[in-house]
Amino acid sequence: MTKILLVEDNEMNLDMLSRRLQRKGFEIVTATDGETGVRLAISATPDLILMDMSLPVMDGWEATRRIKDNQGTCAIPVIALTAHAMEGDREKALAAGANDYDTKPIEMPRLLEKIEALLQGKSRS
């Protein structure tokens, strides 16, 4: 089963998104701050990471950067999620090493498409 690490501090969003992804057949591991996110990326070996950007302890940008800097986790695709729709957020997320980017509120079909695309690309190369 495909395992997704969801890093999100907002309780409702965490609950909602993890339940919806579970319904789609994904196995979900969750973290509510960046530091736990980085740790779980190593220990839980997820296939993909959904990373909120405004997180406590360590923010999403920093967490993404660490995951991408680590030899063991750099191959795991990361989709940055943010409620900031301001310009520059996309670039900032991509600069931190995220493979893709999506804005909240999540549009499920769009997010699933992005997840699928990244998982496929990963299996291919």
The dihedral through the CA atoms of 15, 7, 124, 90 has a sign that is positive
The number of residues that bind another protein (CB under 8 A) is 33
Q: How far apart are CA 37 and CA 1, in angstroms?
A: 20
Identified binder of another protein from the candidate list 45, 69, 83, 110, rule CB under 8 A: 83
Scan for tokens 């057949």, then name that residue: 25
Which of 5, 99, 102, 112 is close enough to bind another protein by CB under 8 A? 99
Only one residue has tokens 């496929």, namely 120
10 Å Cβ neighbour count for 11? 9
Which region among 30-38, 42-50, 55-63, 105-113 touches another protein (by CB under 8 A)?
105-113
Which residues here bind another protein, judged by CB under 8 A? 10, 12-13, 16-17, 19-20, 23, 75, 77, 83-88, 94-95, 97-100, 104-106, 108, 117-118, 120-122, 124-125
